[in-house]
Structure formats: C-alpha cells, structure tokens
Amino acid sequence: MRKVLLLSAVFSSLVFAQSTEERVRQLEEQIRTLQQEIQRLKEEQKKVEETKQETEVLKEELRKLRLEIAIPQLELKTYSGLGPAASKAMFNPRGVSIGGYGELTFRNNSVDARGGAKSIANVQRIILYLGYAFDEKLKFNSELELEHASTSGSHGTGGGYFKAELAFLDYNFRPEFGVRGGLLLMPVGIVNEVHEPPTFPSAERPFLERRILLSTWEEMGFGVYGTIKNLDYRFYITNGLMLKGGGDYNELEPLKTVRQRGARAVADRIGFTGRVDYTLPYNLKVGFSFWTGDIMSKGGNDSYLIYPSRLRRGTKLGSMTMISPHLWWQYGGWDVRFVGALVNVSNARKITNDLHQSSADRTNKPIPSEQRGYYVQVAYDIFRLFKIDRQELYVFGIYEDFDAHAKVPQGSNKPDGHKLKVYNVGLSYKPHPLVAIKADYARLDYSPNKKDENEYRLTLGFMF
C-alpha cells in the first residue's frame, strides 16, 4: 500500500512538474507574441503619424497650388508688349489674376515743381492689374490707374483721377500669331509699354518718352502680334486723334492734347500703329515703332475754325506720323537704351487755328509741324562686381536732346525753351527684383530764353 501511495505521489509530482513547465513555455510564448504585437502597433502608430504629417503637407501644398492658380506669383518675363506685372494675366493658364505697381515720389525743382512750390511729395500712381483666363488661349487683361492719391478736388490739392489704362481681350492661336482688341497701349518707344517702376532706373520716366512719345498713351484698337524666331511684331488699327480744346495746351508737350485714350473716342478717322523688334545675340534688341493717322476737330464750341459755321466733331484737320527707332540691351548687369523720335504733323496751321481763338495764342502757342530728338541711357548693376546676390544697385546716366517745336506753321513763333537737353544721373537700389528705391539728379537745359532747372528726385517703386 505504501509503495502504491509513494508511486502515486512520484507520478503526480512528475505530471505537475511537466504541467508547470508547459505553462511557463506557453506564458513565455504569449509574452513574445504580445511584445511582437506591441511593436507592430508602435510601428503602425508611427506610420499613422507619418501619414498624418504627409497629409498635412499635401494639404498645405494643395492650398498653395490653389492660391497660385488664383493669384500666380510674378515672374520677370514679358508677354508681347507688356511689362512683367501686366504680363501676369497672360501667363496665367486659367482663372483670375491680380497684379499691380506703384510709384511714390518726392521732387524738388529749382524753378517750379508745381504752381510755384519747389518741392512736392506725391502718390504718383497706384495701379491694379485685373485679368481673367477663360482658357489657355483666350484671356482678358486690364490696368486700372489711380493718380495723385484721389479723384476728389477737395482731397488735399486735388488733381487726381481714376481711369483704365488698358483693357483688352487677347486670343493666342500660336506663338507666331495672336489677335487682341480693346484699349491698347501704343507700342512706341520703350517705356510706353514697359512702364512699371522697377523696369527702368531713373526716378521718373525719360522726358522724351513723356513729352514727344506721349507716354502713357493708349487708344481703342485691334490688331495682330506674334514672335517668328527672333522677330517680334505688333500691328494695330486704332481710332484717330482729336483736339481737346485750347485749355489743354502745354507748350512743353503740345501734342498730348490730341490723345483720346478710350474716353468715348471719336472714330470717324483712324490710325495705324506698329512695332518690330529683332533680337540679336547677347539679348540685343533693335527695331522701330510708328503711329500714323488723322487728327480731328472736337467741333462745336471747342472749334474756333468757322467755314462759315463751327466744324462738326470728327472733321479731319490734318494728320500725324510718328517714327521711333530704338535699341535695347539688357545683359550681364547692363541696361543700355537708345530711343529716337521724329514726328511730322500735316496742316499744323489749320490744327492750331482750330485749337485757339485768339490770334496771340495762334501765334505763340502753335501745334508743331515737326518734333525730333533722342535719348541714350547707360546703367550697370555694380553689385555684380562684389558678387552680391539677390540684390541690385544700378548706377546710371541718361542724356536727352530733343526739340518739341523743331518746325512750326508759317507765321507762328517757337515757344521759349522748345529745345531741351537733359543730363540725368542717379542710383536705383533693388532689395528685391520687384522693388526699387531710386534717387537721381536731372539738369534741364532749355533754349532759348527759358531758365534752366535742377531737379532732385526720389521714388519708391514696386510691382507685383
């Protein structure tokens, strides 16, 4: 009996020992499985966090992409006769685009800056570009301009206005051929089309471009444009020109009185304008531009010609032809320009008589029968010498020589100071390619019988 009991106890002990070892092995296996599961969960959690971060990055990139599509960033490139900011809408593939530029100026003139004052500080221009791309080929572009801070005569010293400077539809069939129509910039000179402040070094636009080439000058029209290899062209048909009335006459820039600028422009007579540019190696552009067309009478009480009654509005008085050769070289930090101008006006006597009522004004304030002149600009970014990146500092000089009344109708007198030579030197600092801080000095030598002027100018300019 005792043996039986002893054997049973020994057997039970062995069985219990085996059962305990098995349970330990099972528990160890479960622990390893749990550890593996925990590690897997940790890895999955890490992947979830990484996925979440990637999702947030994708969301931000998508937000930026949507914003970029709606309001694309400005690139320093131009589109067939438009400055960089104005070109923004033309490179936008679809939807709305917004751009603009501004000029905030200070000017001191030794003789007269404005109305007897010798210094003025001015919100020269605040511009908004609004465009819309219907698709990759059909686009609308516009430039809305506020000058001198306000359109109200009771605000400050007044004299400001708000207007459209361009507004057109453009359809580009292919690079070699496109069509556009609406309120267009006349493609004469250089600055009339490419006029955003950071695109030229002087504190204000060259005098010849403003007084002879009528910048900024826009008219209603339509035409074609394109690029064929190294040749760029633009040709438009526009409305003709029309006298505004004697009160608008300025002997320093006498032909500005004939611009219509899309303001219910009389189109009984038409004009033709165009431009051709050929690009040579090292980005040297040479070409010429022109405008030719009729000048009309404003008629009615604004006409002082009587045959036997006052003229009807839109009656042809004469014609104007403007030719402007140019050279433009931008390469390796250089910005070199040459712009010439020759303007001929037919029947200048008849135009003068229609503009002025008094014989004294007809004699002493004539519409010229010929204008001519040129300017040369040389500018260089001296920061290139010191290998300073992302900023530019242009040192420049401009020489201008032109005659606003080179020829006048028989019996008229040339106004005092009709000849002008300008010596302009200064600096243009660009802390960013789209921003320019410009300071310069301009010596204006008039002849004959007009006092010379010294101008000191400062401009804060930007575009976007």
Q: How do residues 221-243 score in pLDDT, each as one tens digit?
A: 999 999 999 999 999 999 999 99
Return d(Cα 444, Cα 459) in angstroms, integer.
Answer: 19
Give a yes or no: residue 83 inside a domain: no
Q: How do residues 390-422 score in pLDDT, each as one tens digit?
A: 999 999 999 999 999 999 999 999 999 999 999
Q: Which two tokens stand for residue 414?
A: 């040339």
Per the CB < 8 A criterion, the answer to whether 71 and 93 are in contact is: no
The pLDDT value given to residue 7: 47
- pLDDT of residue 26 exceeding 90, the answer is no
Give a yes or no: residue 79 inside a domain: no
Based on the domain organization, do 394 and 245 belong to the same domain? yes
The pLDDT value given to residue 198: 98
Give a yes or no: residue 92 inside a domain: no
The number of folded domains in the chain is 2
Return d(Cα 256, Cα 339) in angstroms, integer.
Answer: 19
Based on the domain organization, do 175 and 266 belong to the same domain? yes
Look-up of token digits 């917004």: 98
Based on the domain organization, do 139 and 20 belong to the same domain? no
Q: How do residues 142-200 score in pLDDT, each as one tens digit?
A: 999 999 998 876 676 767 889 999 999 999 999 999 999 999 999 999 999 999 999 99
Based on the domain organization, do 349 and 410 belong to the same domain? yes
Based on the domain organization, do 48 and 173 belong to the same domain? no
Return d(Cα 436, Cα 460) in angstroms, integer.
Answer: 6
Choosing from 25, 50, 69, the residue where a domain stops is 69
- pLDDT of residue 15 exceeding 90, the answer is no
Per-chain mean pLDDT for the chain: 91
Cβ-proximal residues to 196 (8 Å cutoff; 6+ apart), any chain: 83, 84, 85, 86, 101, 461, 463
Amino acid at 68: E
Q: What's the average model confidence in pLDDT over 89-95?
A: 94
Residue 9: pLDDT band (50, 70, 90) is very low
Based on the domain organization, do 46 and 123 belong to the same domain? no
Residue 11: pLDDT band (50, 70, 90) is very low
The pLDDT value given to residue 1: 53
Based on the domain organization, do 308 and 373 belong to the same domain? yes
Residue that wins the pLDDT comparison between 4 and 419: 419
Q: What is the CATH number of the domain that holds 377?
A: 2.40.160.10
Based on the domain organization, do 264 and 410 belong to the same domain? yes
Extended strands (E) in 48-160: 95-109, 119-133, 138-147
Based on the domain organization, do 116 and 49 belong to the same domain? no
Give a yes or no: residue 84 inside a domain: no
**Cis (ω within 30 of 0) for the bond into 279?**
no
Give a yes or no: residue 91 inside a domain: no
Choosing from 13, 47, 69, the residue where a domain stops is 69
Return d(Cα 317, Cα 296) in angstroms, integer.
Answer: 5
Residue 10: pLDDT band (50, 70, 90) is very low
Give a yes or no: residue 93 inside a domain: no
pTM of the complete model: 0.84
Give a yes or no: residue 318 inside a domain: yes
Give a yes or no: residue 418 inside a domain: yes
The pLDDT value given to residue 249: 93
The three-class DSSP label of residue 456 is strand
Return d(Cα 420, Cα 86) in angstroms, integer.
Answer: 32
Q: What's the average model confidence in pLDDT over 256-264?
A: 96
Range of the domain at 2: 1-69
Based on the domain organization, do 136 and 49 belong to the same domain? no
Based on the domain organization, do 36 and 163 belong to the same domain? no
Neighbours of 115 (CB within 10 A): 8
Extended strands (E) in 347-434: 370-381, 392-407, 419-432
The pLDDT value given to residue 60: 66
Based on the domain organization, do 165 and 223 belong to the same domain? yes
